[in-house]
Amino acid sequence: QKEVEQNSGPLSVPEGAIASLNCTYSDRVSQSFFWYRQYSGKSPELIMSIYSNGDKEDGRFTAQLNKASQYVSLLIRDSQPSDSATYLCAVTWGAQKLVFGQGTRLTINP
Amino acid sequence: GAVVSQHPSRVICKSGTSVKIECRSLDFQATTMFWYRQFPKQSLMLMATSNEGSKATYEQGVEKDKFLINHASLTLSTLTVTSAHPEDSSFYICSARVASGTDTQYFGPGTRLTVL
């Protein structure tokens, strides 16, 4: 059974602080890893993709991947109230399927 | 780039009717599209994978005769919920893969289906 695990939260972070979101996955064969943001009532929006071990930075977002530990994380620096959303970790296995975690609900407090 | 649209955005229907949802890739050709369903406070669940010009591949537990998928062109896939019942009420979201060789999927805005 291919699984992606996330802490459902809610995770509360003060405005301006760093929000840290974590995800573990069960399949060692997984090659591609994604973070999506989903606002209430909306569809997921791609934030980051990462394919190799290490860090990948894009603006205020940094994705970190550790394949040996089967762990991927997302850091949001200088958190803003508009970052309040559910963050979905997704992992591919096989040719093309995405498996989603249950999502972490993040609240940024002004 | 990589814009995916869905129509309608919201539909309310009576039990027993059929509803068709369209998913279009607006600025790219999508050889593969995916259909997901999301219930309140739950994550996305893949229903089926749709490849242009071939039959869709359904996930375990998804009735292919109830959820008809057609991927007639490189920019259009449709999902028809046949004989809808209240338990089919959900948020249906499609996604499209930009090109073969990449795993990145871009999502449409979703269709909220309410079956009375």
User: Which position has the higher pLDDT, A60 or B105?
Assistant: A60
pLDDT at residue A27 in the model = 79
Using the predicted structure, report yes or no on whether residue B102 has a pLDDT greater than 80: no
Instruction: Answer yes or no: do B109 and A46 touch at CB < 8 A.
Output: no
- Would you tell me how many other CB atoms lie within 10 Å of the CB of residue B54? 9
B103 CB neighbours in chain A (<8 A) are: 31-32, 34, 49, 92, 96, 98
Instruction: Report the number of secondary-structure helices (H) and strands (E) in chain B.
Output: 0, 11
B50 contacts B32 by C-beta, under 8 angstroms:
yes
A103 CB neighbours in chain B (<8 A) are: 43
Using the predicted structure, report yes or no on whether residue A7 has a pLDDT greater than 80: yes
pLDDT at residue A82 in the model = 96
- The CA distance from B68 to B47, in Å, is 11
Instruction: List pLDDT tens digits, range A76-109.
Output: 999 999 999 999 999 987 666 888 999 999 999 9
Q: What distances in angstroms separate CA A47 from CA A74, B105, B116, one per listed residue?
A: 10, 11, 36
Total residues found in chain A within this entry: 110
Instruction: List pLDDT tens digits, range B26-71.
Output: 988 888 899 999 999 888 999 999 988 888 999 999 999 999 999 8
Enumerate the β-bridge partners of residue B69.
B79
Contacts of A21 by beta carbon, 8 Å cutoff, 6+ apart: A6, A11, A35, A73, A74, A75, A76, A87, A89, A104, A106
Instruction: List pLDDT tens digits, range B77-90.
Output: 999 999 999 999 99
Instruction: List pLDDT tens digits, range B12-21.
Output: 999 999 999 9
Average pLDDT, stretch A15-20?
Answer: 97
Q: Report residue B101's pLDDT band, with 50, 70 and 90 as the boundaries.
A: low
Average pLDDT, stretch B91-101?
Answer: 84
B49 CB neighbours in chain A (<8 A) are: 96-97
Strand pairing report for A11-14 and A104-109: parallel
Q: How distant is the Cα of A35 from the closest Cα of chain B, in angstroms?
A: 11
**CA B25 to centroid of chain Cα atoms:** 12
pLDDT at residue B100 in the model = 61
Least confident of B1-5, B90-94, B107-111: B1-5
Q: How distant is the Cα of A90 from the closest Cα of chain B, in angstroms?
A: 10
pLDDT at residue B1 in the model = 62
pLDDT at residue A74 in the model = 98
Instruction: Answer yes or no: do A101 and B43 touch at CB < 8 A.
Output: yes
- Of the CA atoms within 13 Å of residue A53, those in its CB half-sphere come to 5
> What tokens appear for A106 in the block?
């993040």
